[in-house]
Amino acid sequence: MHYDALIIGAGINGLLSAWLLAREGLRVGIVERGEAARESTWAGAGILSPLMPWDYGGEVNVLSERGRALWPAWIEAIGQSSAIDPEYRSCGMLALSLPDRDRSLAWCRTHSWRAEETPAWLDNLLGKGPDGLWLPDIAQVRNPRLAKALIEACLAAGVRLLVDTNASRWDIQGNTVRSLETSKGKLIADRYVISAGAWSRQLLSGTIGDVDIRPVRGQILLFQAKPGLLPCILYKAGRYLVPRQDGLILAGSTLEHAGFDKSTTQAARDELLAFALDVLPPLRNASLVRQWAGLRPGSTDNIPTISVHPRLDNLYINSGQYRYGVTMAPASAELLLDLILNRVPAIDPSPYRWSMR
């Protein structure tokens, strides 16, 4: 089969890009070396916002704000092809002990974010007078479920998903990629898109350049508590608790430069457990059910690369969303689509351009 677009990697970025392209009538294939959406996309917490947006530059916030705005309608559209509920919820986040509350409040004012005092119902749960900033509009999804629904939507849109298929080598002639060598043979497309998460850089060799993407490990602990124990996301000093509707509570996450090692560690377990019990003491009555690690596609200042290759006219990349890949995914896929279809992009593409380093 000859594809209009062949995407490497079936994480949130590859899947969402494939879904959009297929809905435009393109013949789309995804090459995934393992199971679809079992890497960073599975491992993440599903908070739909940069943790503290005022700590980031415009390049991050433009993509994440557009992602936040697009998600509700896109989740509805995905839901037309799948009965799986991704549990999108605008549950809000309480940020505790912010080092510079005035700066955070000023950012919220200039960016039209609602920011309020801690609501009374949270005072009751956490003890009187937590020094919090309540951000009621922060939402979450249950990313493994979102990904499953998206896979069904991709298949319904005609995307061919080739799992257990490792992409290994490009056949390049002049300024054009002619074909992609995979563990299941050669595949031919008009355009190729790298969305291989933390592994995106491995798909490039010295001859076709480099990209600013490196693995950054994140570990999470999972508790089973009574449903409703925690109604919103809690944040303190770089760590968070995220409650799911069935009483599961995620405590995350670490930021570790450990190469491609996805092991979990006792040190992370101890640290996350201490954090979780400190911010939500009733968790001591919950059971600790699991610990996992995932590899984020890390990039400098959390700025992804969404672009055509500087020299090869049919090689694209949509990767490097680092800590906020689920938040940014709709805006990233939309930008990629605009670039591929030569449309005027909805956002300025220049901060995300692929430059030869």
Ligand X SMILES: Cc1cc2nc3c(=O)[nH]c(=O)nc-3n(C[C@H](O)[C@H](O)[C@H](O)COP(=O)(O)OP(=O)(O)OC[C@H]3O[C@@H](n4cnc5c(N)ncnc54)[C@H](O)[C@@H]3O)c2cc1C
The upper half-sphere exposure of residue 67, i.e. CA atoms within 13 Å in the direction of its Cβ, equals 29
Residue 167 found at the interface with ligand X (CB under 6 A): yes
Minimum CB separation of residue 28 from ligand X in Å reads 15
Which of residues 39 and 334 has its CB atom nearest to ligand X in the complex?
A: 39
**Total binding residues toward ligand X, as defined by CB under 6 A:** 42
Segment interacting with ligand X, rule: CB under 6 A, options 75-83, 95-103, 306-314, 323-331: 323-331
Residue 12 found at the interface with ligand X (CB under 6 A): yes
Query: Residues 6 or more apart from 168 whose CB is under 8 A from it?
Result: 181, 182, 183
Residue with tokens 């200042």: 301
Residue 39 found at the interface with ligand X (CB under 6 A): yes
Residue with tokens 């991704």: 86
SS3 190: strand
Residue 321 found at the interface with ligand X (CB under 6 A): yes
CA 2 to CA 114: how far, in whole Å?
A: 49
Which of residues 222 and 277 has its CB atom nearest to ligand X in the complex?
A: 222
Applying CB under 6 A, among 41, 61, 302, 307 the residue interacting with ligand X is: 41
Residue type, 41: T
Radius of gyration of the chain (CA): 20
Minimum CB separation of residue 102 from ligand X in Å reads 26
Per-residue interface string for the shown chain with ligand X, residues 266-305, x marking contact by CB under 6 A:
----------------------------x-xx--------
Residue 324 found at the interface with ligand X (CB under 6 A): yes
Residue 92 found at the interface with ligand X (CB under 6 A): no
Which of residues 61 and 321 has its CB atom nearest to ligand X in the complex?
A: 321
Give just the sign of the alpha carbon dihedral 198, 202, 207, 208.
Answer: negative
Which of residues 42 and 123 has its CB atom nearest to ligand X in the complex?
A: 42
Residue 191 found at the interface with ligand X (CB under 6 A): no
CA 174 to CA 328: how far, in whole Å?
A: 33
Q: At what angle do helices 143-156 and 58-79 cross, to 10 degrees?
A: 60
Residue 325 found at the interface with ligand X (CB under 6 A): yes
Which of residues 115 and 147 has its CB atom nearest to ligand X in the complex?
A: 147
Give one DSSP letter per residue of 192-259, joined into a string: EEE--GGGGGGG--GGG---S-EEEEEEEEEEE--TTS--SEEEETTEEEEE-TTSEEEEE---B--T
| Window 147 to 166, contacts with ligand X (CB under 6 A) | 166
- Could you list the residues that contact ligand X (CB under 6 A)? 8-14, 31-34, 39-41, 43-47, 166-167, 195-199, 203, 218, 220, 252-253, 294, 296-297, 319, 321-327
